[in-house]
Each structure stands twice: as C-alpha cells, then as structure tokens.
C-alpha cells in the first residue's frame, strides 16, 4: 500500500511509524530499537529535571545515531493554596492507611518534599543537546518557547484530543499534530482534563483532517496492518504505536506486570484519574476501584507525585493491585519480542 512520504521526509525516517513515548514503560533502549526498524523512536522525559533529561538524552545518543523525538509534559502547575495543603494531608493519610491495610508499608512524601518542575528548563536542554524533534502533550508550548525551538531548527509535534485543540496547535505554528483517540492507552493529552472529551479516534481523526492543513499522526488502538491502514484512509500520514510494545524486551515493565497484561480482558480497561490526577487509560485494579470516585484525588501533578512512592513500593513486592498499568482498548498478545522485531512485523503487514 502506498503511503505519503511527508512525515517520513520531515522526520528523516524510513517509515512513518512513531514509537509512543509511554513514560515509565519506554526506555532509551526501546527508543534506539525503534530507530533500528526505520521508525521514529520517542524518549519520554515527562516532567523530569533538566539534569535527568540530559542524562537520558545522552544515554540514547550513545545507543543510536538516528533521529529520535524527545517528549515532554506541557502542563500548568496549580498554585499551592491552604485548601490544597489540607486536601494533600487528608489524601496522604488515607493512602498510607489504605496501603497498610493491604500489607504495603510506606510513608508517603509531604507536599514540601518534592519540587514540581516547569517544562521551560527542559526546553533549554532540548536546545543545548541539539535535539531536532520535540513532541509534547497535556497542553501547548508558550510562544517564547516555540520561537526558541524554531530558531534551533526543532520540529514540533503537539497532541490533541479535539478539533479545537488541533486548531490551537496549528495556529501557534506546530509542525505536526498527533491526534489521540479515546482508545489510546496512558494519559489523555487533553488541554483541559477536567472537561475531558471522549471522542472516538477515527471520528476525531477524520474531523481534524478536514479542518487542518498540517500533517497528522494518529494514536489510539493501532495494533496491526488493518487498523493502521484504516487510520491512513481517514487522513493520518504517521502512526503512533504504544500498547503493542508494552511487553517488549526493552519495556521497563517487570515480569509480574507483563504477566498481568497477558490476562487482561476488555472489561478491565478503564479511564481513571486515581493515580495521577489526570485521566489515563489502563487496567482496573483495587487502587483504582477504591480511589476513583472518592474525595482523595489531588490535581495533577500533586496526585501523581504523592502516589509515586506507593507505586514504587508496590512494584518491589509485586503487587499489581497498587501499580498503574496503562494500556489501550485494543487487546493484543503483548509480544515479548524486541521492539525492533515487533515494529518490523507491523511494517511487513503495511508496506
């Protein structure tokens, strides 16, 4: 099947397939493996510090000399008010008690124990490290950052979950837009998560294609040649692959987490704010069922920081009821082959 070469030419890759960033799952090794398949690898930097971002970028550069995208979270940081402090203390106490009831013993961090990082320091890192592709989610870059990155020759890939968001990104000069359907695993890229729009991916993709002129990448539910070609028919020129790689050799998931993936059923995949304070799609467990409709969910990123230590301890004791396992709606066999082999198999079905 003949595919447009626009995305491939812009990103300097052989095939218009993008490995999804998947912070907490993807690794520099996964990023490099994707490039070996002729695809665009993505290095998930989320909201890490500048120092940690530099470390991961340089580690990835040692593994591949091919283009890869750095990916960051572009979110607004809520002000710490007296009300937030009280809510944080209540939530911390509740989660500690819940953990202890389930034989997980940990003292969660106080609000003043961690630093919330702005994405702006990462922008400086992207420029200094001469990263030429930057993708981002949770919002849009400010105009000053866009100008700085453009002057650096950086190609910008933004994420939308609605036509309105897509138009905002295009108007601000973003080069490529990733259209994220509701089927996609992991965090929603919505600009306003409190008013999340649950638009089916193919419906959204078709509408965005009719409304914009910039090239589009599609993310959400692609797991074989048929689903990829369907996205192409509706206007996508690039195709982001995430859940298909969750159990790959290069995945950061542990064996017990990969084993849970192998047993997942359709009814287990849910949309939740419980772990991070932002909506994300993943596998339902006891933590989600307990917290989701409770009063113990802080705004992002405070909930995410608070539950981070709990999830860390749960992983050490292999308790899958208290870890986040993000996954999309398309249930696959979750191959444990290398990322390169998985992507090359997909390519054989399509090109």
Tens digits of per-residue pLDDT, 101-150? 999 999 999 999 888 888 999 999 999 999 999 999 999 999 999 999 99
Fold classified for 1-77+116-249+334-351:
TIM Barrel (3.20.20)
Distance CA 44, CA 24 (A): 8
pLDDT band of residue 351 (cuts 50, 70, 90) is confident
User: Is pLDDT at 349 greater than 80 in this prediction?
Assistant: yes
User: Which pLDDT value is given to residue 192?
Assistant: 63
Question: For residue 69, what are the β-bridge partners?
Answer: 42
Asked which of 52-56, 196-200, 219-223 is least confident by mean pLDDT, the reply is: 196-200
What integer pLDDT is reported at residue 195 of this predicted model? 65
pTM recorded for the entire structure: 0.96
pLDDT score of 147: 97
Summarised one tens digit per residue, pLDDT across range 213-242 is 999 999 999 999 999 999 999 999 999 999
Domain ranges of the chain: 1-77+116-249+334-351, 79-115+254-324
Q: What letters, b where the CB count within 10 A reaches 16 and e where it falls short, cover 322-348?
A: bbbbbbbbbebebbeebbbebbbebbe
pLDDT band at 196 (very low <50, low <70, confident <90, very high): confident
Confidence grade of residue 253 (pLDDT, cut at 50, 70, 90): very high
Rg, C-alpha atoms of the chain: 19
Residues 82 and 108: beta-carbon distance below 8 Å: no
What pLDDT, on a 0 to 100 scale, did the predictor assign at position 193? 55
pLDDT at 128: 97
Provide the mean pLDDT of the chain. 95
């Amino acid at each position: 099947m003949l595919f447009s070469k626009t995305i491939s030419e812009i990103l300097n890759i052989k095939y218009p397939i993008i490995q999804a960033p998947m912070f907490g799952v993807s690794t520099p090794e996964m990023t490099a493996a994707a490039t070996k398949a002729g695809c665009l690898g993505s290095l998930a930097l989320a909201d890490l510090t500048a120092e940690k971002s530099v470390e991961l970028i340089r580690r990835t550069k040692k593994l591949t000399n091919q283009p890869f995208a750095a990916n960051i979270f572009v979110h607004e940081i809520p002000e710490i008010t007296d009300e937030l402090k009280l809510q944080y203390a209540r939530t911390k106490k509740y989660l500690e008690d819940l953990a202890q009831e389930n034989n997980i013993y940990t003292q969660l961090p106080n609000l003043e124990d961690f630093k919330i990082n702005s994405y702006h320091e990462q922008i400086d890192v992207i420029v200094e490290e001469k990263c030429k592709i930057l993708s981002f989610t949770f919002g849009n870059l400010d105009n000053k950052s866009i100008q700085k990155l453009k002057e650096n020759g950086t190609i910008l890939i933004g994420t939308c979950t609605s036509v309105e968001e897509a138009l905002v990104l295009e108007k601000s000069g973003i080069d490529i837009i990733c259209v994220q359907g509701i089927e996609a695993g992991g965090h929603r890229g919505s600009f306003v998560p409190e008013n999340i729009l649950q638009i089916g991916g193919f419906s959204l993709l078709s509408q965005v294609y009719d409304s914009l002129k910039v090239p589009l990448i599609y993310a959400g539910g692609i797991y074989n040649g048929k689903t990829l070609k369907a996205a192409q028919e509706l206007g996508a020129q690039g195709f982001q692959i995430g859940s298909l790689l969750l159990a790959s050799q290069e995945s950061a998931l542990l064996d017990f987490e990969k084993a849970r993936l192998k047993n997942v059923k359709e009814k287990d995949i849910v949309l939740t704010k419980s772990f991070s304070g932002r909506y994300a799609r993943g596998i339902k467990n006891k933590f989600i069922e307990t917290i989701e409709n409770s009063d113990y969910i802080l705004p992002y990123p405070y909930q995410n920081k608070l539950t981070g230590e709990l999830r860390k301890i749960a992983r050490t004791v292999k308790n899958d009821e208290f870890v986040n396992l993000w996954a999309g709606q398309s249930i696959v066999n979750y191959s444990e082959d290398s990322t390169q082999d998985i992507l090359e198999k997909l390519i054989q079905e399509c090109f």
